[in-house]
C-alpha cells in the first residue's frame, strides 16, 4: 500500500479521518458511491470539502493511486468528484487509480478549486 507522505491524516480540529495507518490484512475496503443527501450535518459537509481540497492540493487533476486514503471518506466523493481512471477498476485495491473531476467539483462545491491552482 502506497502511503501518501505529507497528505493530512484528518480534518484539523476534528476526528474526521483522511488516511489509514496500515493495510488491512483481508484486503482494502471496497469503494462504493455513497449518496449525499441535502440534510447531511454541516460538519460532514465540511469534512467532504476539506478532504476534496486536500486531494486537489496534493494531486491536482492528475491520476493518483488510492494507497492509504480512507475508503469511507473517498466513498462520499466516489462516482461524482472522484472517478476511476481504469476500465478494469478494482474498488477493493490499494493500487486502484483515481482522478478528480474538476467539473463535478465545481458543480457540487462551487469555488472550492480553481483549475489553474487553488481558489
Q: Give residue-wise pLDDT tens across range 21-80.
A: 888 888 889 999 999 888 889 999 999 999 999 999 999 999 999 999 999 999 999 999
Confidence at residue 118, expressed as pLDDT on a 0 to 100 scale: 45
119 pLDDT higher than 50:
no
CA distance 29 to 20: 11
For residue 2, pLDDT over 90 is answered with no
Instruction: Share the mean pLDDT of the chain.
Output: 89
How much of the chain, in percent, has pLDDT values that exceed 90?
A: 64
Residue 115 confidence (pLDDT): 54
pLDDT at 93 over 90: yes
Does pLDDT of 1 surpass 50?
yes
Cβ atoms within 10 Å, residue 73: 24
For residues 76 and 87, give the distance between their C-alpha atoms in angstroms, rounded to a whole number.
21
> What's the number of CA atoms in the CB half-sphere (13 Å) around residue 47?
21
For the residues 93-117, what does the mean pLDDT come to? 86
Amino acid at each position: 500500500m502506497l502511503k501518501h507522505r505529507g497528505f493530512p491524516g484528518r480534518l484539523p480540529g476534528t476526528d474526521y479521518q483522511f488516511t489509514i495507518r496500515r493495510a488491512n490484512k483481508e484486503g482494502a475496503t471496497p469503494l462504493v458511491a455513497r449518496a449525499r443527501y441535502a440534510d447531511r450535518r454541516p460538519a460532514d459537509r465540511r469534512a467532504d470539502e476539506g478532504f476534496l481540497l486536500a486531494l486537489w492540493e496534493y494531486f491536482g487533476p492528475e491520476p493518483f493511486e488510492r494507497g492509504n486514503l480512507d475508503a469511507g471518506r473517498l466513498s462520499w466523493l466516489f462516482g461524482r468528484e472522484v472517478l476511476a481512471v481504469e476500465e478494469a477498476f478494482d474498488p477493493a485495491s490499494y493500487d486502484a487509480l483515481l482522478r478528480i473531476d474538476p467539473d463535478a467539483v465545481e458543480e457540487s462545491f462551487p469555488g472550492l478549486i480553481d483549475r489553474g491552482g487553488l481558489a
